[in-house]
């Protein structure tokens, strides 16, 4: 079942490429006592993810900060190497957006957001969505009905705050 507003996020571990290689990033370290935004994409470097979704959060990051958001995190079912490269290529890392890999899709499955698109080679990826999480609890959630980027864009999520 898909996660809903008012639910608490499950325990999860992401992977991030640090200076000495891939490191595990417990979700609890990001959520405990903090307000964060998580936006999830079907894949690194896909046209909409790269040209619309990430740029929308680069554009709006200051407005989220003004609304008390401590960190904006991009999640994709990809490996940490590609997430690091994508963060650099898209400008997300320079903008302060954290790029986390849900490499085994365990977080995506736990929140009920699995998405497959066999014609483009996507299996067990993530739907496109964005959420505000306050101390582990989902306080706003916008899920796209398709692969487009509208309600889950930075501007769309800001309307929920």
- The answer to whether residue 42 forms part of the interface with ligand BEZ (CB under 6 A) is yes
Least separation in angstroms between residue 10's CB and ligand BEZ is 24
Per DSSP, which regions of the chain are E strands? Answer: 13-18, 21-26, 35-41, 71-76, 98-101, 114-117, 122-126, 129-134, 137-143
Binding ligand BEZ (rule: CB under 6 A), the pick from 47, 118, 121, 145 is 47
Q: Which is nearer to ligand BEZ, 31 or 142 (CB)?
A: 142
Contacts of 21 (CB under 8 A, 6+ apart): none
Identified binder of ligand BEZ from the candidate list 12, 36, 49, 158, rule CB under 6 A: 49
**Residues annotated as catalytic (active site), given as ranges:** 49
Task: Give the nearer residue to ligand BEZ in terms of CB position, either 69 or 103.
Answer: 103
What does residue 123 show for φ and ψ, rounded to 5 degrees?
Answer: -130, 130
Taking CB under 6 A as the rule, does residue 66 contact ligand BEZ? Answer: no
Measured between alpha carbons, how far is 13 from 72 in angstroms, rounded to an integer?
Answer: 17
Neighbours of 154 (CB within 10 A): 22
Of 22-30, 67-75, 102-110, 116-124, the window that binds ligand BEZ (rule: CB under 6 A) is 116-124
Residues in touch with ligand BEZ (CB under 6 A): 42, 46-49, 117, 120, 122, 147
């Amino acid at each position: 079942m898909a996660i809903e507003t008012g639910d608490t996020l499950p325990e999860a571990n992401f992977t991030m490429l640090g200076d000495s290689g891939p490191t595990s990033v417990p979700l609890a370290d990001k959520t405990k006592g903090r307000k964060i935004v998580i936006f999830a994409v079907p894949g690194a470097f896909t046209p909409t993810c790269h040209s619309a979704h990430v740029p929308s959060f680069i554009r709006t990051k200051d407005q989220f900060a003004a609304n008390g958001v401590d960190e904006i995190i991009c999640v994709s079912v990809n490996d940490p190497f590609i997430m690091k490269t994508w963060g650099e290529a898209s400008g997300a890392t320079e903008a302060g957006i954290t790029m986390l890999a849900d490499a085994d899709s365990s977080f995506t499955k736990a929140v009920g957001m699995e998405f497959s698109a066999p014609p483009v080679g996507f299996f067990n990826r993530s739907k496109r969505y964005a959420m505000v999480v306050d101390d582990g609890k989902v306080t706003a959630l916008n899920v796209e009905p398709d692969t487009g980027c509208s309600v889950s864009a930075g501007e769309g999520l800001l309307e929920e705050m």
